[in-house]
Amino acid sequence: EPRESKNFIEQAIESDLASGRFDGVFTRFPPEPNGYLHIGHAKSICLNFGLAKKYGGTCNLRFDDTNPAKEDVEYVDSIMDDIRWLGFQWDNLHYASDYFDQLFQWAEKLIREGHAYVCDLNADETRQYRGTLTEPGRNSPHRDRSPEENLKLFHAMRDGEFPDGAKTLRAKIDMASPNINLRDPVMYRIMRAHHHRTGDKWCIYPMYDWTHGQSDSIEGITFSNCTLEFENHRPLYDWYCEKLGIHHPRQIEFAKLKLSTLLIGKRHMLRMVKEGLVDGWDDPRMPTIRGYRRRGYTPESIRNFCSEIGVAKFPGTIDIVRLENSIREHLNRLAPRRMAVLDPLKLTITNWPAGHVETTEAVNNPGDPESGSREMAFSGSLWIEQDDFREEAPRKFFRLKKGGSVRLRAGYIIDCHDVVKDDDGNVIEVLCTYDPETKSGEDTSGRKVKGTIHWVSADHAKEVEVRLYDRLFAVEDPSVCAEGQTFVDHLNPDSLKVITGYVEPELANAEIGDRVQFERLGYFIVDIDSTPEKRVFNRIVTLRDTWGK
């Protein structure tokens, strides 16, 4: 534990605890239920739950459900499920919509005290009056209404007396502020939309900025961690808390997670799902938690990744290889080794006694002696990988070649003396002899060969469907597009190949969710599409990074 130095958020927390500004670490994870969680959210989850745990505080889950037009219970349920899957449990569950009554009363208070007014400008006009980065805004013509008139109009807004968009409630701050967020920001808009929790009770809905800090405050949050795009909103967050005179949490901003070769915004993911470019939110190529889960990532590998990358104050891109290495590292310890041939070539042992079948002993995980070994059927008719044979090969090719020798893992040393070809000259069968003195574990021959390859016994192997997943995008930064292109043009056309594989017979009974290493090929998980007749294996990740070469 004591390995790491403290990140800037931990430093801020410790200084505030030491000075007595706060007496505990109360955090929250505040998703908007308008999509599925992605790997960026995992970072925020690990951060907020992690801080609460580290400092003996609490972490709430709060749905920031202020925009009924885009939100849905489907997302609420999936978010809770994904957080639990990642291994976290919130101390309290809240919805910003539970605070709508309180927010309304607080808005009345600001109106009475002259800090908010009802404005009749429509959305376009409001934008025009707001000014730009270089130009100050102009006061709304309705800015000087009396508190009494504002209160009456605000109630009429709530009571449904005006059409959608006809009026807003705005905070009265400073139309000349260099920070545009302080130029009389909108607090409420009129919007007749059905809310997944409050139904049709409201036809006015509070804006994000008018909701977020107050929700934090109500819950007694002390450290409100959010991403950098809210840095410019912090003065507004502080202004609302101060004017209301309520508990005032500290907002701290950190950089969003950005991963090379990926686009992880909800907007992009929604487009891919809607256009059928992927197979839904849980497509194993998607950067959603659901996607990683189905792909075969473990919660631990994602948590480890988040803790290793830490939090940063400035934007940057994390190499995707770090995430891939995190699952490799975990599965290297966890996953039993099994043999599977994915691109089969027939190999016949010509001196094998006809019909004879032997068992050989194969180690389950060389890194974990406790995992023991298993028996495999060995016969004179095998499948090996096409890639492991060359009729003619350079000297450095240590797999099997004509006139060469190789060890079959957990089997014998074999010597290749001939091949069988089809009419087009393709090798369709490899003919070998085996050396009876060389059985793995009881080798008395003293022979040494450079290469070892995997195999399965043709008569014993079972067929399974194998989905070879690869990166969704083929470029470092899919957001960089030439004119007339969009990120969709960067999709990797080879991100999925579906093939038939030949596996050790027991794997045909593997349970959904089981993870294995196919020796020399990669890590695989049994997919939910599996049936009793046919197992489906997803490739989680290859054994090594093959993109970096």
* DSSP 8-state secondary structure symbol assigned to residue 83: H
Q: Is 30 in the site for ligand ATP (CB under 6 A)?
A: yes
Smallest gap, in angstroms, from Cβ of residue 514 to ligand ATP? 31
181: how many CB neighbours lie within 10 A of its CB? 16
Smallest gap, in angstroms, from Cβ of residue 265 to Mg ion? 7
Smallest gap, in angstroms, from Cβ of residue 266 to Mg ion? 5
89: how many CB neighbours lie within 10 A of its CB? 9
Binding mask 180-219 for ligand ATP (x = CB under 6 A): ----------------------------------------
Binds ligand ATP by CB under 6 A, chosen from 103, 169, 218, 264: 264
Do 118 and 168 form a contact (C-beta atoms < 8 A)? yes
Indicate the burial class of 117 (C-beta count within 10 angstroms; 0-12, 13-18, 19 or more). buried
Smallest gap, in angstroms, from Cβ of residue 274 to ligand ATP? 15
Do 335 and 517 form a contact (C-beta atoms < 8 A)? yes
User: How many residues form the binding site for ligand ATP (CB under 6 A)?
Assistant: 14
32 has binding-site annotation: yes
Binding mask 33-62 for ligand ATP (x = CB under 6 A): -------xx-xx------------------
Residue 211 or 440 with smaller CB distance to ligand ATP:
211
Beta strands in 255-353 (DSSP E): 337-338, 340-341, 344-349
User: Binds 264, which of ligand ATP, Mg ion, none (CB < 5 to 8 A, cut-off by type)?
Assistant: ligand ATP
Find the residue with minimal CB distance to ligand ATP: 40
Do 303 and 86 form a contact (C-beta atoms < 8 A)? yes
Binds ligand ATP by CB under 6 A, chosen from 9, 25, 27, 31: 31
313 has binding-site annotation: no
Q: Is 115 in the site for ligand ATP (CB under 6 A)?
A: no
Q: Please provide the size of the chain in residues.
A: 549
The rounded distance, in Å, linking the Cα atoms of 521 and 65 is 45
Structure tokens at 123: 């959305």
Structure tokens at 428: 């369709």
Residue 35 or 344 with smaller CB distance to Mg ion:
35
169 phi, psi to nearest 5 deg: -100, 130
Residue 82 or 184 with smaller CB distance to ligand ATP:
82
DSSP 3-state of 23 = coil
Do 376 and 446 form a contact (C-beta atoms < 8 A)? no
Q: Is 313 in the site for ligand ATP (CB under 6 A)?
A: no
Q: Is 265 in the site for ligand ATP (CB under 6 A)?
A: yes
Using the structure block, give the residue that is written with the tokens 């997302």: 75
Residue 75 or 502 with smaller CB distance to Mg ion:
75
Do 42 and 301 form a contact (C-beta atoms < 8 A)? no
Residue 30 or 249 with smaller CB distance to ligand ATP:
30
Alpha helices in 30-99 (DSSP H): 39-54, 73-86
Binds ligand ATP by CB under 6 A, chosen from 226, 327, 382, 416: 226
Smallest gap, in angstroms, from Cβ of residue 277 to Mg ion? 20
Indicate the burial class of 370 (C-beta count within 10 angstroms; 0-12, 13-18, 19 or more). exposed
Q: 273 Cβ partners below 8 Å, 6+ apart?
A: 280, 281
**Angle, helix 234-244 to helix 100-112, in steps of 10 degrees:** 80
475: how many CB neighbours lie within 10 A of its CB? 16
Smallest gap, in angstroms, from Cβ of residue 36 to Mg ion? 12
Binding mask 9-48 for Mg ion (x = CB under 5 A): -----------------------x----------------
The rounded distance, in Å, linking the Cα atoms of 149 and 146 is 5
317 has binding-site annotation: no
Residue 94 or 407 with smaller CB distance to ligand ATP:
94
Residue 463 or 476 with smaller CB distance to ligand ATP:
476
DSSP 3-state of 213 = helix
User: Binds 189, which of Mg ion, ligand ATP, none (CB < 5 to 8 A, cut-off by type)?
Assistant: none
Binds ligand ATP by CB under 6 A, chosen from 7, 10, 17, 32: 32
268 has binding-site annotation: no
Do 506 and 433 form a contact (C-beta atoms < 8 A)? no
Structure tokens at 543: 């054994």
Q: Is 404 in the site for ligand ATP (CB under 6 A)?
A: no
Q: Is 256 in the site for ligand ATP (CB under 6 A)?
A: yes
User: How many CA atoms are closer than 13 Å to the CA of 29, on its beta-carbon side?
Assistant: 28
Smallest gap, in angstroms, from Cβ of residue 103 to ligand ATP? 18
User: Binds 535, which of Mg ion, ligand ATP, none (CB < 5 to 8 A, cut-off by type)?
Assistant: none
Binding site for ATP: what residues are annotated? 32-34, 38-44, 227
| Site for Mg ion, rule CB under 5 A | 32
Binding site: what residues are annotated? 32-34, 38-44, 64, 208, 227
Binding site for L-glutamine: what residues are annotated? 64, 208
| Site for ligand ATP, rule CB under 6 A | 30-32, 40-41, 43-44, 226-227, 256-257, 264-266
